[in-house]
Amino acid sequence: MNHYVDTHAHIFAEQYADDFEEMLNRCAEAGVDQIMIITLSHDETMKAVEFAKKDPERFQVAAGIFPEDVKDLTDEMWEEFKETVKDPMISCVGEIGLDYYWEKDPEVRALQREVFIRQIELAKEIGKPILVHSRDAMQDTFDIMKAHHTRGLLHCFSGTKEMAKEFTKLGYYIALGGALTFKNARHSVEVCETIDEKYLLSETDCPYMAPTPFRGKRNEPSYIPLIVKKMAEVRGVSEEYMAEVIHANWHRFLSGENQ
Length of the chain: 259
Stretch that binds Zn ion, among 49-57, 87-95, 166-174, 185-193 (CB under 5 A): 87-95
CB of 257 to Zn ion, least distance (A): 26
Site string for Zn ion, 92-111 (x = CB under 5 A): ---x----------------
Q: Of the two residues 69 and 233, which places its CB atom closer to Zn ion in the complex?
A: 69
Stretch that binds Zn ion, among 50-58, 91-99, 121-129, 175-183 (CB under 5 A): 91-99
Number of residues that bind Zn ion (CB under 5 A): 1
Cβ atoms 133, 99 nearer than 8 A: yes
Rounded Cα distance between 188 and 222, Å, is 21
169, containing H or E segment: helix 161-169
How open is the CA angle 111-154-188, to the nearest 5 degrees?
A: 125
Shortest distance in whole angstroms from residue 150 CB to Zn ion: 19
User: In terms of C-beta density within 10 A (0-12 exposed, 13-18 middle, 19 or more buried), how is residue 18 classed?
Assistant: exposed
Least distance CB 244 / Zn ion (angstroms): 25
Q: Among residues 206 and 246, whose Cβ is nearest to Zn ion?
A: 206
44 or 244: CB nearest Zn ion: 44
CA 237 – CA 220 distance, rounded (Å): 25
Asked if 27 and 58 count as a contact pair (C-beta separation under 8 A), the reply is: no
Among residues 9 and 245, whose Cβ is nearest to Zn ion? 9
Footprint of Zn ion on this chain (CB under 5 A)?
95
